[in-house]
Amino acid sequence: MKLPKVGAMRSATSGARLSAANSLVQRTLAQHGLADQSSPAEKPAMPALDNILANFSPSQSWSGASRAAVPNGATFKDSTFTCEAGSRRFCTYVPAKAAAGAAGVLVMLHGCTQTPEDFAVGTGMNTFADAHGFVVVYPAQSRVDNAQSCWNWFNRGDQRRGSGEPALLAALTRQVCTEHGIGQERTFVAGLSAGAAMAVILGDTYPDVYAAVGAHSGLPLGSAKDVSSAFAAMAGNGLEAPDVATTTDPVRTIVFHGTADNTVHQLNGDSIARRARDSYACQSIETTISGKAGGRTYTRAVSSDLNGTALVEHFIIQGQGHAWSGGQPAGSYTDPKGPDASAEMIRFFFEIPSKTS
């Protein structure tokens, strides 16, 4: 089961708040079967959070595995980006087809405890880049900024344009797009869990940078303002009336969520999709499609404009937990069953005709 997304505060947080946050993480680890659930009198003191994460992190093994799979003519390089908003490591996958000109840029935001290399393996997104010729950017959250490597979607300073992680990630995206000559209309952002929550924030705060958003098992903008409200949001509470202004220039959005997600409640995905639909003032055509893929049934609700362009798509996958639908078993937090979320996102982003319509 996926680790919670709100277990650590930034290094600048006071000691008292950091202690409270770590306590919440430790209790939730036990709830998800990742720690001893015996009574306090029966168990020894829980190891430090950093030690838990050091044992759990897949960062070393994924790096070598992913780079070994890079085909001839493609590159998967590790770099560091720095701007006024901060500094982060990131990986860039450039397929061989992009040598003659990239088809677009896709920013992929990993979930908690994941790494760019792990996320690339689990989603299989580099394979789609090989086929379609787009560049993939995998930013890495640092343990300094969040001890669980979670994007800080629940901090007020990381929910607004011009500050925090949105400003840093948008600046990184602009740099990569400039390098490859890609405009806003072919720039996209997607993520899993905490990464999906940050992708939603980026779509709302930087519609001049991103043309579409993909949110898998994520949370809506404004659903939390601190650690305690983040846990409430993950449970599906307090999602109806965020106090963060939404954009007047909406971006196209595709949402995936499993009905058996016990880490981020399905109501969060419903809220992302509903708010995305509501943000479009134009008349739209609503279509619902039922299907089965990889042994899982699903519904796909599509809101299209009068020209037939899908503005919002919402996949609800029966029986799926907190995992990337149709993902590769070699990656963490993936479920090989269900519709292929990576393939569906690429279809939606690049407006490739659907096989299920």
Q: What is the DSSP string of 208-223?
A: TT-SEEEEES---TTS
> What average pLDDT does the chain have?
83
Domain boundaries, the chain: 59-281+317-350
Q: How far apart are CA 39 and CA 221, in angstroms?
A: 37
Q: Confidence class of residue 249 from pLDDT cuts 50, 70 and 90? A: confident
For 59-281+317-350, give the CATH class: alpha beta
In sequence order, the 6+-apart residues with CB closer than 8 A to the CB of 143 are 53, 149
Higher pLDDT, 13 or 147: 147
Share of the chain above pLDDT 70, in %: 77
Q: Which of 132-141, 230-239, 340-349 has the lowest mean pLDDT?
A: 230-239
> What is the spatial distance between Cα 59 and Cα 80, in angstroms, rounded to a whole number?
16
Q: Where residue 341 falls among pLDDT bands split at 50, 70, 90?
A: very high
- pLDDT classification of 280: cutoffs 50, 70, 90: confident
